[in-house]
Structure 1
Amino acid sequence: MSKDIQLATLGAGCFWCTEAVFLEVKGVEKVVSGYAGGNVPGKPTYREVCSGLTGHAEVVQITFDANIISYEDVLIIFMTTHDPTQLNRQGADVGTQYRSVIYYHNDQQQRIAEKVTTALESVFDAKIVTEISSVPTFYEAEQEHQDYYKNNQNQGYCSFVITPKLQKLRKLHSDKLK
Structure 2
Amino acid sequence: MLKSILLSVISFAGLTSCAQKDNAVKIKSDNKIMTTSNAKLDTATFGTGCFWCTEAIFQQLEGVEKVVSGYSGGHVVNPTYEEVCSKTTGHAECLQVFYDPAKISYDELLKVFWEVHDPTTLNRQGADAGPQYRSVIFYKNEAEKALAEKYKAELDKSGAWDNPIVTTLEPMTVFYPAEAYHQNYYNNNTSQGYCQFVIRPKLEKFEKVFKDKLKKH
Q: Which residue of 1 aligns with 2:31?
A: none
In structure 1, what is the Cα distance between the partners aligned to 2:73 and 2:91?
A: 5
Q: Is 1:174 equivalent to 2:200 in the alignment?
A: no
Is 1:50 aligned with 2:100?
no
Letter in 2 for 1:32: V
Higher strand share: 1
Residue in structure 2 matched with residue 84 of structure 1 by the alignment: 119
Q: 1:161 offset after TM fit, Å? A: 2.4
Give SS of 2:163's match: coil
Say whether 1:20 aligns with 2:49.
Answer: no
- The gaps in structure 1 that reach 5 residues or longer are none
Give me the whole-angstrom Cα distance separating, in 2, the residues matched to 1:5 and 1:146: 20
Alpha-carbon displacement from aligned partner over 1:31-63 (angstroms, at most 9, x marks no partner)? 0000001122x2101111122121110001001
> So what's the TM-score if we normalise by structure 1?
0.93
1:106 to 137, 141, 148: 141
Q: In the alignment, which residue of structure 1 is the partner of 2:177? A: 140
Asked whether the 8 Å contact 1:22–1:31 carries over to 2, the reply is yes
**Residue of structure 2 in register with 1:73 after alignment:** 108
* Largest Rg, 1 or 2: 2
Q: Distance in 1 between matches of 2:174 and 2:141?
A: 14
Shift of 1:4: 4.1
Q: Following TM superposition, by how much is the alpha carbon of 1:174 offset from its aligned partner in structure 2, in angstroms? A: 1.2
Aligned-partner Cα distance in 2 for 1:164–1:101: 23
Q: Which residue of 1 aligns with 2:28?
A: none
Q: Which residue of 1 aligns with 2:199?
A: 162
CA-to-aligned-CA distance 1:103-157 (integer Å, 9 cap, x gap)? 0111111111111222222222211111111112110111111100111122232
Distance 1:163 1:70, change over 3 A: same
In 1: Cα distance, 2:86 partner to 2:198 partner:
21
For residue 37 of structure 1, what is the amino acid of its counterpart?
A: G
**Partners in 1 of 2:92 and 2:127 — Cα distance?**
16
Q: Which runs of 5+ in 2 are unaligned?
A: 1-38
1:11–1:98 CA contact under 8 A, matched in 2? yes
Cα distance in 2 for partners of 1:80, 1:152 equals: 24
Preserved contact between residue 81 and residue 168 of structure 1 (Cα < 8 Å): no
Alignment coverage as a number of residue pairs = 176
Corresponding residue of 2:189: 152
Aligned counterpart in structure 2 of residue 59 of structure 1, from 75, 81, 94: 94
Over aligned residues, Cα RMSD in angstroms? 1.5
Taking structure 2 as the reference length, what is the TM-score of the superposition? 0.77
Q: Percent identity?
A: 56
* Counterpart in the other structure of 2:17: none
